Structure 1
Amino acid sequence: MAETPDLQVYDLGLVAGILDRIGLVSLVDRRVGPRPGEKVSTGVALKAAVLNALGFLSSPLYLFGHFWEGKPTEWLLGEGITPDLLNDDRMGRMLDSLYAVGVTELFLEVAKEAHRAFAFPVRALHVDTTSFHVHGRYEGTGEEEAIHLVRGYSRDHRPDLRQWVMGLVCRDTGGIPLLFAPEDGNAADRKTLVDLVSRYREALDLGEVVVLDGAGYTRENLKALGSFPWILRVPATLREAKALLGEEFPEGAWVFLAPGYRGLEVERTYGGVRQRWVLVESAARGEEERGRLEERIGRAQREAEGVLRRLLARRFACERDARRALEEASRGLAYHRLVYLGVREERRRGKVGRPRKGESPLGVGYRLLARVERDEGKVAKAKRGLGRFLLATNVLERERLSLGEVLERYKGQTRTVERGFRFLKDPMFFTGSTFLKRPERVMALGMVMALALLVYALGEWELRRRLEEEGEGVPDQKGKSTARPTLRWVFQLFCKIRAMPVTWLRLVVLEGRVAVLNLKPHHERVVRLLGVERYYLLE
């Protein structure tokens, strides 16, 4: 190999090795087919794009070639691949090729190959969406399958920009994405999520249950899901759910679910589907909500006092009217009541001064006497619902899915798909917005982003699994051994090598052979456990 440069970011060898284990380049090139005269195949270009995405630099499309300057492209991508070949034009053609074969279908094939290569277990699938905004006008291209980049509810707080929605289906542990689907910028979660599962239910039949956000809990969606096992959060706005959340139950009805959680189960039918509702009560969440409740009660006290002042300023025709007005106002208070103390009679005369003997008043009115009082009954009812939420599942067999497992699978949402979205929105990996001129390229870039997440989550899961199996670890930020490092920290461990002049990591030629020098034991351990020895010459 002709070039022997300093390995400025040799953590890229970890990413390249994982992509090789999946067989990304050959899979993509088989689907796309050979292109005459092309020096860089679509598969190699896609591999380069993922390496770029995970290279701790947020390089826009037009700077793609600059990312590769000074890096060992032949070593990472293949003989004859030089930085000048990895330019924005090649990147654009690669995106067009990905769109042409179908980005969702292609990603699904890659995810299946990843599952075959790493054999990660799947007990539950987590489904969610997020939005990414774009710059530019993005006029329609006439492509029927292309998404519409339009304004919609912006999770990024940029309602002035057009956006597109990314849907992901991730496995329950590790957050490894199994399905990516781009959607219109104004796509509604309640329809998008279930459509995503329904369209690819056969291909996704890897786990026991699918976990969806509460927005998907509608009669139409439950019908569309059919027999596919699911766990959904029941919206608290449903009348029956609201009653259950505020109901008082005997202590013996509750069962232990997990540390800090207890629950109970009732059977319900909604949308024509029999299901188990699991009422969950979280101690930590209850404590947090109790503090917020006291704040609301304090604000409500001030509002109730304002209501009372306005009532005391009114003049009523009779005592009955005054009491009726007080009762109506009291019913409208959330946590307080207005206590009736009586009325004060007021006589109105036509003239000022001392009334003459036998002079009759022009009118008689009544002023309320009352006070604000905290309604402990209302407060107690509000406290009964603190820390509670409702989960539903159509898996009726308790031995197949216990109450504790229902909670565990649902809580996995924050550790999987939501964690993946935070990763994709991190400016260390991707820019917050894109400008690619055409919706088709935006869809393809979305696949590159999802593929980078796949590689990152897969590498982290595999490394942690192997470290725990072999009872080994790598240094954490404090220099202590850990068996559960983030892959981001592992990247930092490899990047730190170049910051220490004595142990710079280099490719050098020794007696006609290329060698990697100054790898430390923990570097070699990571390389060996991830199975990427080829890039570090440890074979």
Structure 2
Amino acid sequence: ADHRMNRVQSWAEHRLETLRGCSEATLEGRDLSDDRLADVLRDLSDDRRWQAFEQELAGQLIRVYDLRAECVRLDTTTASSYAAVSEEGLLQLGHSKDHRPDLPQLKVMLATLDPLGLPLATEVLSGQRADDPLYLPTIARVRACLKKPGLLYVGDCKMAALDTRASIQAHGDYYLCPLTALQVPAELVAQQVEAARASGQPLIDVERTQTDGQTRCIAQGYEHSETITAQLDGVSSTWTERRLLVQSLAAKQSAEQGLQTRLKHAQQALSELTVRRQGKAVLSASAEVEQAVTAILAHFHVEGLLLVTVTEQVQEQSVRAYRDRPATTRITRQFTITCQVQPQAVRTASEQLGWRVYATNQAAEALAFVEAVEAYRDEFLVERNFGRLKGQPLSLSPMYVERDDHATGLVRLLSIALRVLTLLEFVVRRHLTQQGASLAGLYVGNPKRATTQPTTERLLEAFQEVFLTIVVEPHQTRRHLTALSALQQRVLVLLEFSPTIYSKLCEDSSEPP
């Protein structure tokens, strides 16, 4: 997609008949000129009117599509631009999630409804803002939108700030988020895991059915409770928080591979430490060698995993007197370093890999350990929304607008399109589930392949070969529309759309256009 405003009018003029069939019969190309589109973006940038619209829209969508409002997911992303940075503007330099710290950016906070990922609230903020303070204002907007207590809010470790958790608890809602390494250092996590093992607490397995139909364990862990106290608006608040110690087996495997790589690199560095090379400083004292060994072990984070032995050989060589130089004894020292992997220490270190601590204030009866882990692992839902928003098909990034009101309006306009993408596939998937059926014909090159989870992008792609042909005669206009295939007709049925949305486009007219 190309969201540059000066490109839309020429694009629309080649599709006026289709656009008129979808909107107003009097639509003209000039209605989509860059000036009028700029007016639209400026109107959408009005915070008060947008929030009222977004709140009403979310309420209507939940009622019309009979959606369950139980779990809300929050996250942020950044969108870069080639425009200039202004001191008080939206576009600022900051930590880029697109790996482009050299470009100015704005930040987007999105709150979505599980399990379909429907956007409920969209916040557009300046690009240098930290994530932590953005959660509570967005959560307040979700509360105003859903008007329902007892919601579960799921976020990443930026949502784990004590003030954020305390506020969610005080409003009668629930949270689920991982704690940061500052809140629970790795040493503390290891102690808690060891304490759980020593107490005989059973290990809880989290299993998931894979695409091949096999059920595999994807995570395991323990649980304990802690009493949390926080100051909220000058009032002390205390509640019980569940702490979930979770070890992701995939993360553990990846970390073990990283550990083995670090061990190899550390051994290689140690073996080359005393090798003489041109231009390389020679270590002549045992203290220097020991200091270098310690630095290598620390650099590769393998302290205690390698047994390093330093052997010193001292050689004395007599040097004869020469002219004014007296006879002397030259002493040279050579160091030999050997290292050996400590298997037991490596096994112990491996058992501590892949652990993370999650916090929630929801009771186990409503959110069991396995359900909590599964809920957080569904973080891909909001990440997928960001992928659609910034990449294909909505293409927000990079932005080709310079004014702040245009940038804000563009993000909000595309968030409406994101709702359409989300709802279309949700409706189709829900009907397929109710029917116990699947949909075939969506995959190019493999028409027999069926799926119960079609994406909106593939559903729309199935209609690419539908053409409207218009023949203008002196006294009438004839239209011909490509006949809909069986697949296209079934998609319309699954979407609860009438075929007339297509057939009405080809009604013959006695008046030429």
Residue of structure 2 equivalent to 1:293 = 259
Deviations 1:384-437 (A, max 9, x none): 123332211121x211110011011101111x1100001112244325222333
Residue of structure 2 equivalent to 1:401 = 367
Counterpart of 1:106 (choices 53, 69, 75) is: 53
RMSD: 3.7
- C-alpha contact 2:320 2:328 (8 A) present in aligned 1: no
Alignment pair present for 1:483 and 2:449: no
Moved more, 482-491 or 205-214: 205-214
Output the TM-score relative to the length of structure 2: 0.78
Match of 2:391, as an amino acid?
D
**Structure 2 residue matching 1:79: 3-state secondary structure:** coil
Unaligned runs of 5+ in 1: 1-56, 142-146, 354-358, 499-503
- C-alpha contact 1:245 1:279 (8 A) present in aligned 2: no
Alignment pair present for 1:64 and 2:22: no
Q: C-alpha displacement at 1:230, in angstroms? A: 0.5
Deviations 1:211-255 (A, max 9, x none): 111123223333343333100112234454543247443686211
Counterpart of 2:169 (choices 226, 235, 238) is: 226
Output the TM-score relative to the length of structure 1: 0.75
Alignment pair present for 1:125 and 2:72: yes
d(CA) in 2 for partners of 1:237 and 1:300?
27
**Structure 1 residue matching 2:462: 3-state secondary structure:** helix
Moved more, 461-470 or 104-113: 104-113
Q: C-alpha displacement at 1:488, in angstroms? A: 0.7
Deviations 1:164-208 (A, max 9, x none): 111101112121111111011111112223442245434355573
CA distance 1:536–1:314, change in 2 (3 Å):
closer
Q: C-alpha displacement at 1:520, in angstroms? A: 2.2
CA distance 1:305–1:323, change in 2 (3 Å):
closer
- C-alpha contact 1:255 1:263 (8 A) present in aligned 2: yes
Deviations 1:475-528 (A, max 9, x none): 221222433211111111111334xxxxx788999x999896612233222223
Residue of structure 2 equivalent to 1:390 = 357
Residue of structure 1 equivalent to 2:338 = 371
Match of 2:12, as an amino acid?
W
Residue of structure 1 equivalent to 2:22 = 76
Match of 1:493, as an amino acid?
A
Match of 1:257, as an amino acid?
V
CA distance 1:339–1:471, change in 2 (3 Å):
closer
- C-alpha contact 1:505 1:518 (8 A) present in aligned 2: no
Counterpart of 2:465 (choices 496, 499, 513) is: 496
Match of 1:485, as an amino acid?
P
> Residues 106-255 of structure 1 correspond to what in structure 2 (within 5 A)?
106-137=53-84, 139=86, 148-198=90-140, 200-204=142-146, 208-227=151-170, 228-245=173-190, 247-248=193-194, 249=197, 253-255=202-204
> Residues 321-340 of structure 1 correspond to what in structure 2 (within 5 A)?
332=298, 334-335=301-302, 336-340=305-309
Residue of structure 1 equivalent to 2:236 = none
d(CA) in 2 for partners of 1:299 and 1:427?
40
Match of 1:86, as an amino acid?
L
Residue of structure 1 equivalent to 2:206 = 257
CA distance 1:351–1:290, change in 2 (3 Å):
same
Unaligned runs of 5+ in 2: 209-216, 231-238, 505-513
- C-alpha contact 2:179 2:358 (8 A) present in aligned 1: yes
| Larger helix share, 1 or 2 | 1
Residue of structure 2 equivalent to 1:432 = 397
Residue of structure 2 equivalent to 1:39 = none
CA distance 1:367–1:423, change in 2 (3 Å):
same
The size of the alignment, in residue pairs, is: 461
Q: C-alpha displacement at 1:64, in angstroms? A: 1.6
Deviations 1:47-73 (A, max 9, x none): xxxxxxxxxx42411112122123222
> Residues 266-345 of structure 1 correspond to what in structure 2 (within 5 A)?
266-269=224-227, 272=230, 274-307=240-273, 314-316=283-285, 332=298, 334-335=301-302, 336-340=305-309, 343-345=312-314
CA distance 1:90–1:338, change in 2 (3 Å):
same
Alignment pair present for 1:527 and 2:492: yes
d(CA) in 2 for partners of 1:309 and 1:271?
57
d(CA) in 2 for partners of 1:213 and 1:121?
22
Q: C-alpha displacement at 1:75, in angstroms? A: 1.0
Moved more, 331-340 or 121-130: 331-340
d(CA) in 2 for partners of 1:464 and 1:265?
35
d(CA) in 2 for partners of 1:300 and 1:270?
42
- C-alpha contact 2:111 2:120 (8 A) present in aligned 1: yes
d(CA) in 1 for partners of 2:293 and 2:85?
59
